[in-house]
A and B are shown apart, each in its own frame.
Chain A
Amino acid sequence: MTTTPSTTSKAVPDEQFDDLTQQRQAVLMGMWIFLATELMLFGGIFTAFTVYRFAYPDVFAEAATHLDLKLGTLNTVLLVTSSLFMALAERAVNAERRRLTLTFLLVTISIGVIFLGIKGYEWHHEYTEKLMPILGLEFIYPGANPDRAEMFFNFYYVLTGLHAVHMSMGLVMLTVLVVFTMRWRDPPRLGRQIQINGLYWAFVDVVWVFIFTTQYLLRA
């Protein structure tokens, strides 16, 4: 999980490792375990959501209709597309194609930013509709059982908010990778870094698919 570029000669592993293969395997494994922890993090919240989804099925299904399905779908498509470009960036760096790597990374970042923009627009929209029960804001819900519906929105904001935080961290890391790519000091190392960041990006993508399914699609 080291992200600092090496300034020393190229094919030397970090001092704790015997060789580069060992290092590569260790770093990959570290990232996979980290993703397992992320899975448990979101898993805890999804579990809580599931409990209430079963407790109040009708209210939650009804509340979900107040989310913008079109924008949600658009965002899903965008994010999956960005993962595609991330994967392409990995290929490009392994083929030692600097400009191409750079392009793919920048496209990935742009799509990510657009995703967050759309998400922000959705939140703003919900705010104006008075469907944002946060920090004591007024919550005026047109349907039945507004208190249970508020619970639905609470989960919606927790999940999408936490996801957005993860996206933002991903974007920061991708930006660092852009800088590394521009320097192009140690392409094999950069390849490893892009690979593990790609794993993270794919994970964030998968989490979104779950959020999309449970929040937007399970509607009345």
Chain B
Amino acid sequence: MSEAAANQASESYLSSGWRIRDWLLTTDHKRVAWLYTISITAFFFLGGLAALVIRLELMTPDGDVVSADAYNQLFTIHGVVMVWFFLIPSIPNTLGNFLLPLMVGAKDLAFPKLNLISWYIYTVGGLFTIAAVITSGVDTGWTFYTPYSTQFADRAVVAALTGVFVVGFSSIATGINFIVTTHKMRAPGLTWFRLPLFVWANYATSLVMVLATPVLSATLILLILERMMGIGIFDPALGGDPILFQHLFWFYSHPAVYIMILPGMGVVSELITCFSRKTVFGYHGMALSILAISVFGFLVWGHHMFVSGQSLYAGLMFSLFSFFVALPSAIKTFNWTATLYKGKLIFSAVMIYALSFVGLFTIGGFTGIFLASLAVDVHVHDTYFVVAHFHYIMVGSMVTAYIGGLHFWWPKMTGRMYPELWAKVAALALFIGFNLTFFPQYLMGYAGMPRRYQTYPEDFQILHVMSSLGAGVLAIGYLLPLVYLLWSLRWGKRAPPNPWRAAGLEWRTDSPPPKHNFLEPQTVTGPPYDYDTIDNK
């Protein structure tokens, strides 16, 4: 290699090219990761804004901030944006996109163009849906239940459905890309059981994306056709069954909740080992339980339908399987704590995020078991108890993991360090604000407060006010990182290649990495998370 060529190759991916097309037409997985990061951040704060108005409204028992219709539209916007446009792409398409090739020692994903196209599909579909939902009155909630969506709701629901349908293709594209990359592009010596758990998690997530998303696509097509062309598949007047919609919907959407947590589990596994300076406890169990969750996840959708009128025997089976799916989740939780045990813990901001994840996931998972118990669910179904359950998992765990991961890999992605003290403040604000927001929701749900209501009896007001105040604290926890992370881009200290002395191929290259990730081809000779060796060097 001539010297000029060598210089060019070692130039960081960030310094090569800052024309608009260098970004909008890039096929570099690291740049596409940034495109995604920008999009999902915008969606996150949009969805968050809707949530804040909802919480404001719920400060008082009467409907006094917005109209009843507007309230319904608000929780629809919130749910649609957060689930479809934030959580599903969140970790896989940002951190996953950036890290997967680095972690397997590849130059890029297997299909870089497809990766870029997926971002366009996602962004255009997302914006289209938002426009449809905001300019009209879609008020179905994120679940689009029939017959409401097909026969009564505002016609703009078709536009919203189309947008979600389109975004599905970006999930599928990502899934295909990740699976093929993991199978075919690992560095020499990087056997399956030497892969970082983050890779395992994204791999399992991709399996779910690839196998479940198309069923959602089919379901959405049927809804759209019913609404647009009168091809009634769920229409009771033709002998159709609206409950069939729920079956198809949850066949996707239960596995999809694992799309919304597995990547978080992957992130946290990386963070905890690094800041315990110990190898992951029970690595094989961790990897296999990720796979087990993604497989069992396909067998439990009926636990969303215990009171829908599905057969009692079906309910029993779904209840049982839901307990089974909690087993691998529990294995993971025990293994995280066992990793901490006798570790040399470092309470950095990243570690606070990781520990928050474990605690909040435990609570969310436990209450999942309550809900999976047939008899208990009859009582708490469609109450705030359910709302609290899934927010503990999707927000308390997944969003926390995402932000924690963003901090952990920030030096790698940007070449800059963030201010540790502010990060600690933000992490604590998040933990406190989150619990204040959502723990009261368990209590009020158990006491009978139904979800999706704008007004409520006065008895619930104290709990609702606590929850709303908590949401304020939580918002600070989310806004702070936005500020200081952006600040660090310019004023942060320059990051060395491996600021945390972490294991993993991604730390062997520069921060930020060169365009093709590594200057020399990488080989792997030992197990992952070999912290003993690293620390004794």
Which A residues fall within an 8 A CB radius of B? Answer: 1-2, 15-18, 22, 25-26, 29-30, 33-34, 36-45, 47-48, 51-52, 55-56, 133-136, 147-148, 150-151, 154-155, 157-158, 162
With A36-B211, A45-B218, A162-B221: A26-B184 Cβ-Cβ less than 8 Å: yes
Q: Give me 7 other A-B pairs in contact (C-beta within 8 A), A16-B108, A26-B181, A40-B214 excluded.
A: A2-B111, A15-B108, A17-B110, A39-B214, A51-B241, A55-B241, A158-B225
A206 to B237 CA separation, bound complex (whole angstroms) = 33
Q: B54 interface residue, CB < 8 Å from A?
A: no
Residues of B within 8 A of A136 (CB): 230
Given contacts A30-B111, A33-B210, contact A41 B217 (CB under 8 A): yes
Asked whether, in the complex, the Cβ of B238 is within 8 Å of the Cβ of A48, the reply is no
Contact assessment for B113 and A2 in the assembled complex, using a CB-CB cutoff below 8 Å: yes
Give 25 pairs: A residue, B residue, CB < 8 Å, sorted on A: A16-B107, A16-B109, A16-B110, A16-B112, A17-B107, A26-B184, A29-B179, A29-B180, A30-B177, A33-B175, A33-B210, A36-B210, A36-B211, A37-B175, A37-B210, A42-B218, A45-B222, A47-B248, A133-B230, A134-B229, A148-B238, A151-B240, A154-B232, A158-B231, A158-B233
CB-defined contacts of B114 to chain A, threshold 8 Å: 1
* B162 interface hit (Cβ, 8 Å): no
Residues of A contacting B: mostly: helix
CB atoms of B233 and A155 under 8 A apart: yes
- Roughly how many angstroms separate A27 CA and B226 CA in the complex, as a whole number? 36
CB distance from B162 to the nearest CB of A (A): 15
Report whether A151 and B111 are in contact in the complex, using a CB–CB cutoff of 8 Å: no
Q: Within 8 Å of chain A (Cβ to Cβ): is B121?
A: no
Chain B residue nearest to A45 in the complex (CB): B218
| B239 engages A52 (CB within 8 Å) | yes
Is B375 in the interface zone, CB < 8 Å from A? no
Verify A134–B230 contact, CB threshold 8 A: yes
Given A2-B113, A44-B219: A151 and B213 interface contact (C-beta under 8 Å): no
Q: A133, B183: Cβ atoms under 8 Å?
A: no
Query: Interface 1/0s, chain B 501-537, versus A by CB < 8 A?
Result: 0000000000000001000010000000000000000
Q: Is the CB–CB distance between B215 and A44 below 8 Å?
A: yes
Contact partner, A134, options B177, B221, B231, Cβ 8 Å: B231
Given A26-B110, A34-B176: A48 touches B214 (CB 8 Å cut-off):
no
The number of A-B residue pairs with CB atoms under 8 Å apart is: 122
Q: When the two chains form their complex, are residues A48 and B248 in contact, meaning their CB atoms are under 8 A apart? A: yes
Q: Verify if B185 is at the interface (C-beta below 8 Å from A).
A: yes
Complexed CA–CA distance, A44 and B181 (Å): 27
Tell yes or no: B244 within 8 A of A by CB.
yes
A172 → B minimal CB distance (Å): 16
B106 an interface residue at 8 Å Cβ cutoff?
yes
- Report the bound CA distance from A69 to B238 in whole Å: 25
Q: Which residue, B113, B185, B211, B240, has most C-beta atoms of chain A within 10 A?
A: B240
Q: Using CB atoms, name the residue of chain B closest to A162.
A: B221
Chain A residue nearest to B219 (CB atoms) is: A44
Report the bound CA distance from A93 to B177 in whole Å.
27
B232 touches A151 (CB 8 A): yes
Contact of B172 with A by CB under 8 A: yes
Query: Closest 5 A-B residue pairs measured CB to CB?
Result: A44-B218, A16-B108, A40-B214, A41-B214, A44-B215
Chain A residues contacting B232 (CB-CB under 8 Å) are: 150-151, 154
Among A15, A41, A134, contact of B107 (Cβ-Cβ < 8 Å): A15
Q: Is the CB of B244 within 8 A of A48?
A: yes
Of B107, B172, B251, which is within 8 A of A37 by CB?
A: B172
Given contacts A16-B107, A43-B215, contact A133 B231 (CB under 8 A): yes
